[in-house]
């Protein structure tokens, strides 16, 4: 089955994303593309990173385009700071619909995912952990750990009626560009309630 690219790339509000709340962890090109896609689809986005200035840079760029986005800082290795950030979002706007974890450079995915899970919307929430294919032997073990965590998280998330998906991307040298990755993220998030995508791999044509 071929996908109609116009459905993934068109800049219009997507009913399944409109008026939803997304928490995006990351601040690189992929985070920027993902946040832009979500905002253009009508989602209110909170972006967070280890360094607030990085998240703020993404937020300012998109806010200048008239999109709804806010920046925050979280200390990924301190459970209290993660919980406080999530609680702040929940207190300010309500439950979280989407958590997009840019785990391309490692990071404590367990800490963040577990902190977010209990604040997500039952039966509507969706966690997407994004990883790149290892580009060196040193990257392989952390990557296996993050993938194992994401799969283990699926079992726990089911108790909260929350979907979880692993999105794996090609390596830095051969993988898809950030915009293509954002389109894949959109494809995952707009699936009907009864459709569950456990894992999606995206690579650029050779």
Q: Does some domain include residue 2?
A: no
Residue 22 counted as domain residue: yes
| Percent of the chain clearing pLDDT 70 (strictly above) | 74
Lowest mean pLDDT among 26-40, 43-57, 109-123: 109-123
Domain range enclosing 147: 18-202
Q: What is the CATH number of the domain that holds 192?
A: 3.40.50.720
Tally Cβ neighbours within 10 Å of residue 160: 16
- Model confidence at 142, pLDDT cuts 50, 70, 90, reads low
Please give the tally of structural domains in the chain: 1
Q: How far apart are CA 101 and CA 105, in angstroms?
A: 11
Residue 38 has pLDDT above 60, yes or no: yes
8 lies in some domain: no
Residue 75 lies in a domain: yes
Nearby residues of 10 by Cβ (< 8 Å), 6 or more positions away? none
What strand order describes the sheet that includes 163-169? 69-73, 44-49, 21-25, 98-102, 126-132, 163-169, 199-202
Domain-located, residue 31: yes
pLDDT in tens, 158-179: 888 889 888 888 765 555 789 9
Q: Is there a domain that residue 132 lies in?
A: yes
**pTM of the predicted structure, to 2 decimals:** 0.83
Q: Is residue 5 part of a domain?
A: no
175 within domain boundaries: yes
């Amino acid at each position: 089955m071929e996908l109609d690219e116009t459905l993934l790339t068109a800049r219009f509000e997507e009913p399944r994303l409109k008026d939803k709340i997304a928490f995006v962890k990351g601040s690189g090109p992929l985070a920027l593309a993902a946040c832009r896609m979500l905002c253009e689809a009508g989602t209110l986005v909170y972006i967070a990173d280890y360094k607030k200035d990085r998240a703020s840079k993404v937020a300012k760029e998109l806010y200048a385009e008239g999109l709804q986005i806010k920046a925050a800082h979280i200390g990924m290795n301190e459970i209290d700071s993660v919980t406080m950030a999530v609680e702040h979002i929940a207190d300010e706007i309500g439950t979280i619909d989407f958590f997009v974890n840019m785990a391309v450079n490692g990071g404590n995915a367990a800490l963040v995912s577990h902190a977010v899970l209990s604040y997500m919307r039952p039966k509507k929430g969706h966690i997407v952990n994004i990883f790149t294919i290892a580009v060196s032997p040193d990257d392989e073990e952390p990557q296996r750990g993050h993938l194992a965590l994401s799969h283990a998280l699926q079992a726990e998330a089911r108790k909260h009626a929350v979907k979880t998906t692993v999105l794996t991307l090609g390596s830095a040298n051969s993988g898809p560009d950030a915009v293509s990755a954002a389109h894949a993220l959109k494809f995952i998030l707009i699936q009907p309630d009864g459709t569950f995508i456990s894992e999606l791999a995206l690579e650029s044509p050779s």
